[in-house]
Amino acid sequence: MKKHFLKIMYLSLAVLIATSCSSDKDATDEIIVDPPTQEDPLTTSNVASYMVDASATKETVALFYNLKRLAKTKTAIGQQDAFNSYYQDAGGDSDIKKNTGFDPAVLGSDFIFITDKNNNNQSGNWFYQQEQKVIADIKAAYAKGIINTFSWHLREPNKEDSFYAADMTAEQKSTAFRSILPGGANNEWYKKKLDKVASVISNLKGSNGELIPIIFRPFHEFDGSWFWWGADFCTPEEYKKGYQFTVDYLKNTKGVHNILYAFSPDNSYTTEANYLSRYPGDKYVDIIGMDNYGDFNNQGQTGSDKANAKLKILSDYAKAKVKIAALTETGYRVTSATPAITDWFSTLLYNALTKNDIQISYVMFWNNNADGYYVPNGTVSNASDFKAYSLKSKSALVNSLPKMYELPK
Helix (H, G, I), strand (E, B) or coil at 375: coil
Question: Bridge-partner residues for 107, per DSSP?
Answer: 79, 148
Mean pLDDT of 16-33: 39
Q: Which residue in the list 221, 238, 272, 406 is annotated as catalytic? A: 221
Helix (H, G, I), strand (E, B) or coil at 200: helix
**pLDDT tens-digit series, residues 91-124:** 899 999 999 999 999 999 999 999 999 999 999 9
Q: Residue 160 catalytic? A: no
Q: Which residue in the list 59, 131, 156, 329 is annotated as catalytic? A: 329
In the prediction, which pLDDT does 29 show?
Answer: 42
Helix (H, G, I), strand (E, B) or coil at 231: helix
Task: Assess contact for 95 and 87: CB atoms under 8 A.
Answer: yes
Q: Up-side HSE of residue 356: CA atoms within 13 Å toward CB?
A: 16
In the prediction, which pLDDT does 35 show?
Answer: 53
Helix (H, G, I), strand (E, B) or coil at 395: strand
In the prediction, which pLDDT does 39 show?
Answer: 72
**pLDDT tens-digit series, residues 115-154:** 999 999 999 999 999 999 999 999 999 999 999 999 999 9
Q: Quick check: 13 pLDDT over 80?
A: no
In the prediction, which pLDDT does 75 show?
Answer: 98
For the whole model, what pTM was predicted?
0.92
Q: Residue 39 catalytic? A: no
CATH number for domain 3-14+55-400, candidates 3.30.1180.20, 3.90.1720.10, 3.20.20.80, 1.10.3720.10: 3.20.20.80
Q: What is the CA radius of gyration of the chain?
A: 20
pLDDT interval class at 6 (50, 70, 90): very low
d(CA 315, CA 358): 6
Q: How is the chain split into domains, by residue range?
A: 3-14+55-400
Q: Quick check: 345 pLDDT over 90?
A: yes
**pLDDT tens-digit series, residues 293-316:** 999 999 999 999 999 999 999 999
